[in-house]
Structure 1
């Protein structure tokens, strides 16, 4: 009886992990540059880009390179990078609005390299 309970617990755990790791359909993978400094930036950037079963982003704070995996039928790199810029992080396609950038924590205020009319609002 005890071994049946353990087996059921293992099966339940495996099923919950499988469901939690649902795959993104019509997957496209791209790498992009996103400015930032630290692990707080990483969390904010990755959270802004995330859309359940649609998009996920992994950002490396040392290289400032992000890998984006997304469902090409439901979103685009531009849409994802707009969301990242809206929370204060310049990237290769969109510049964050100054007001949003200025509200970032002090350690998250990276050296801004480019400022032009691509700022998101």
Structure 2
């Protein structure tokens, strides 16, 4: 059994996904990755316990990051969420206990956001 917090990282840009996953691992997290909200939702539904959802807002497929967080909260009501986006034209639909980080971002800002949400 591990005491490491588990983060689900959802990002469709593979280079960014790998970089973010590595940063979370270096910070002591167990990391699971998904390239779409649908893939991430499948991981959330399969019974795993997550301590943090880190999701891009603009994702390929039917669901975006806002949708994913809303559905994740139906399954895990207390799950902290960090949203990331490079676009600010849409109206935020943040769930409670969440943070929005604008791209480009530094991982120190993401880690600070995680700590502010009580994770890490």
User: For the superposition of Structure 1 and Structure 2, which TM-score range results when normalised by the shorter chain?
Assistant: 0.3 to 0.5
Of the two, which has the highest radius of gyration? Answer: 1
Give the TM-score taking structure 2 as reference length. 0.34
